[in-house]
Each structure stands twice: as C-alpha cells, then as structure tokens.
C-alpha cells in the first residue's frame, strides 16, 4: 500500500505544478503587441472576427515575392471615440519602433460635435502589415466602432525590377562599347560628336532606370497603410438612413447658418447705407435752401421793374 500511495502523491504534485505554470502563463500574456505573421495567431483573430461583425472579414493577401501591397481601412466611430482610437493606433506604431513602423501622415478635423473626420497613414514592415491591420480593426470594434471598408491592392514590381536590371545591363554594355570606340581615336569630328551624344543619352537612361528600380525596391521594403475615421456626415462608406430627428436638426442648422449669413451681410452693408442716406439728406437740405432762396428773390426783382417802368397811357 505504501508504493501506490507514494506514486499518487508524486502524480498529484506534478499536476499541481503543471496547473500553476499554465495559470502563470495565462496571467502574464504578451508584454507588448505581437504583430508577427504566424499560423497560430491567425486562429484567434478569425474567431474574433466571426464573433464581431464590426471587425470585418479576416482575409489577407497571399505573400508573393516581388508584389508590393497597399492597405486601406475605413472606420465608423462615435464622435467622442475618434481621437482616442487614433491615438491608440499611433502609440501601437510607435511601440514597434521606427524600423518596423513609421507614421507618415495625420489629419483630424472637427466640423461640429457630431461631424468629425480623421486620417492616419503608416509605412510598415511587410511581414507585420496584415497583423497590424487586424489589430487596428479590433481596437475600433472595442471602441464601439465598426469597419465599413477595407481594401488591399498589390502591384507586381518584381517583374519591373528584373526588366529594369536587364535594361541597365544592356545599356551599360553599349556604353562601354561606345567609350572604347572613342578611346581608339581616328574619328572625324562629326563621328566623335555623334558617339559622345549617344554615350550621354545612355548615361541619362541608366540613371533614370536605376532611380525607378530603387523606388520599386523601396515599395517592396515598406508597406503603406492608411486608416480613415469618420462620424456623422463624414462616416466612410454608406451613410445612415435619414430620419425626422436628423432632418429637423439639419433644417435648424441651415436656418441658423442663414441668420449668420444675413447678419454678416447687414453689418457689411449698414455703413454704406448710412453713408448713402446722409448724402441724400444733405442733398435734399441743400436743394430746399436753394429753392427757398430763389423763391424769396423773385418778388423783390419784380417790384423794382414795376417802379422803373413808364406810366401807362
């Protein structure tokens, strides 16, 4: 009976230690936001997207060499939550480090307490782009918002890079041939000018192709992503259905704006109207005085003529 009892004690101690270690692992969790692309992390994200329609579909592009992807998301949020979610996305990017995520653009515009629009643009390491977008959508869903539009486009720049490399190699070989031809000498002035012009054109073409290839390689090294936020009239995608309350509120806003515009017009034109009234009053007063003066001089002139006139008969 002692050996079975000893074995049961050992098994019980091992089970307790295993449960304690598993509980510690669950309580600690990841210290930072893990955005690595991996197969195990895709399952929880899929389950969450199924549970919350606001998170949208968990569909990502297939990784392909030589393809540059561009991500775009649009969110509908309550007006008071837009700034909070935008700051949360910015902090997440800053926490990844400049080498993996950079903020390249930001906009926040308030029209009134209901109508707010914002934007946040990133440049991401391609391997973390999809997971970063999913985490951004999850943060919006937790803030009582929803994903209204998502778009992922890809451009095959690998073929263009290889084509540019072959063109550069061919033009470089042609440039070497022309330079060797110029070095041999024995050419007339016209032939030498033609060869020098051809060499100059080749050098310009090589520089242009190299610049284009560098831009395409840069597009492979970083993935652009844009988050659009909106509330009220600036909600991306399809707007809300109209109702009487919104119509009455909009009518009152239009009436108030009309009063403001009318007030501005009146205040702008009032000094000119007063000036025109003053000019009219001075003109009328002057005209009245002149009329009275002319009427007062007319009888005196007639009496003098009558006195100097000879008597009749």
Delimit the domains of the chain by residue range: 64-158+221-241, 164-218
User: Between 154 and 132, whose confidence is greater?
Assistant: 132
Per-residue pLDDT averaged across 201-209, rounded? 90
Q: How far apart are CA 132 and CA 111, in angstroms?
A: 30
State pLDDT tens for residues 89-116.
Answer: 999 999 999 999 999 999 999 988 888 9
Quickly state the pLDDT bin for 39 (edges 50, 70, 90).
very low
- E strand or H helix at 111: none
Reported as a single tens digit per residue, the pLDDT across 165-181 is 888 898 989 889 888 88
Mean pLDDT over residues 52-79, rounded? Answer: 73
SS3 at position 301: helix
Nearest to 55 by CA among 69, 64, 44: 44
228-256 mean pLDDT: 75
Position 93 scores a pLDDT of: 94
CB 56 within 8 A of CB 139: no
What's the pLDDT at 52? Answer: 55
Pairing of strands 101-110, 146-156: unpaired
> What pTM does this model have?
0.54
Q: What is the mean pLDDT of residues 16-39?
A: 43
The helix/strand/coil state of 121 is strand
The yes or no reply on domain 64-158+221-241 and CATH 3.30.70.260 is yes
Higher pLDDT, 31 or 238: 238
Q: How high is the pLDDT of residue 72?
A: 93
Backbone angles phi, psi at 109, to 5 degrees: -130, 130
* pLDDT at site 26: 39
User: β-pairing, 116-124 with 223-231?
Assistant: antiparallel
Nearest to 96 by CA among 129, 56, 119: 129
Query: Residue 221 has what pLDDT?
Result: 78
């Amino acid at each position: 009976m002692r050996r079975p009892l000893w074995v049961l004690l050992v098994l019980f101690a091992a089970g307790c230690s295993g449960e304690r270690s598993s509980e510690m692992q669950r309580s600690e969790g990841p210290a930072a936001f893990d955005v690595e692309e991996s197969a195990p992390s895709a399952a929880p994200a899929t389950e969450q997207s199924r549970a919350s329609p606001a998170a949208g579909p968990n569909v990502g592009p297939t990784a392909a060499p030589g393809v540059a992807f561009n991500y775009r998301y649009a969110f509908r949020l309550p007006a008071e939550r837009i700034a909070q979610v935008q700051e949360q996305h910015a902090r997440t990017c800053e926490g990844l480090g400049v080498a993996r995520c950079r903020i390249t653009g930001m906009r926040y515009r308030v029209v009134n307490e209901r109508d707010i629009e914002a934007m946040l643009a990133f440049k991401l390491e391609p391997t973390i782009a999809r997971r970063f977008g999913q985490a951004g959508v999850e943060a919006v869903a937790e803030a009582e918002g929803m994903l209204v539009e998502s778009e992922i486009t890809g451009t095959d720049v690998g073929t263009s890079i290889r084509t540019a490399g072959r063109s550069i190699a061919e033009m470089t070989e042609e440039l070497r041939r022309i330079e060797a031809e110029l070095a041999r000498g024995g050419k007339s002035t016209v032939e030498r000018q033609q060869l020098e012009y051809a060499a100059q054109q080749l050098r310009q073409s090589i520089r242009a192709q190299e610049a284009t290839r560098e831009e395409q390689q840069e597009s492979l090294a970083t993935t652009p992503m844009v988050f659009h936020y909106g509330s009220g009239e600036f909600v991306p995608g399809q707007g809300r259905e109209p109702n009487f309350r919104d119509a009455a509120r909009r009518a009152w806003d239009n009436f108030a704006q009309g009063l403001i515009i009318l007030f501005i017009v009146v205040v702008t034109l009032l000094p000119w109207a007063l000036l025109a009234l003053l000019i009219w009053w001075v003109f009328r007063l002057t005209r009245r005085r002149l009329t009275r003066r002319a009427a007062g001089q007319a009888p005196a002139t007639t009496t003098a003529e009558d006195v100097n006139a000879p008597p009749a008969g």
